[in-house]
Homo-oligomer: A and B are copies of this chain.
Amino acid sequence: MNILEKPLSSEWIYNGRIIRLRRDTALLPNGATATREVIEHNGGVCVAALTAQNELLFVKQFRYPYMEIVTEIPAGKRDSTKEDPLACGMRELREETGATADRWLPLGKLYPSPGYCGEVIWMYAATGLHFGEQQLDEDEFLNVEKIPLEQAVNMILSGEIIDAKTQAAVLKVKLLCDRGEL
């Protein structure tokens, strides 16, 4: 079955600090037209940083849309749609946790909510960690925590860790460790 859609026209709704919103009219496979709301975003990077003691670094951060403190692996936005994801991951890990890493392994990409959002999140595992000073942005407030990998996996299975990129990247690290590939 043909399932492709074609853009017919675009209307810009909002051009913000983090997101841009447009509303398109699209041609559907059956010849009808439909409205498609699209969030644009520069894309982000997250890092599952594993210590020699098999602990992962986490940040606890107030997340305004949920009015909750959310436990996540270190992550951040790209400065532009052109920034190299690995360079962004290295910067965010250093700024949020003070850590640098000797080894970086790509864990693939993540589409957070593909129905209406075009954000891409690149995931990395980082090992061979060295610790320095946190360098937080002026409007960034977070606490860093180390959690043993097995405990983090259990916190994901029990529903205690809810963030999408954290669930995906940590479970990938767990399976790669089990297979001897990390």
Q: Which of A88-123 contact B (CB under 8 A)?
A: 106, 108-119, 121
Q: Is A39 an interface residue (CB 8 A)?
A: yes
**What distance in Å separates the Cβ of A146 from its nearest Cβ neighbour in chain B?**
16
Given A62-B3, A164-B110, A167-B168: A157 and B143 within 8 A (CB)? no
**Interface size (A, Cβ < 8 Å)?**
75
Q: Is A37 an interface residue (CB 8 A)?
A: yes
Inter-subunit contact A115/B164 (CB<8 Å): no
Inter-subunit contact B62/A38 (CB<8 Å): no
Assembled-state Cα–Cα distance A63/B112 (Å): 12
Assembled-state Cα–Cα distance A171/B161 (Å): 14
Given A17-B37, A110-B164: A3 and B69 within 8 A (CB)? yes
Assembled-state Cα–Cα distance A156/B114 (Å): 16
Name the B residues within 8 Å of A21 (CB-CB).
13-14, 19, 21
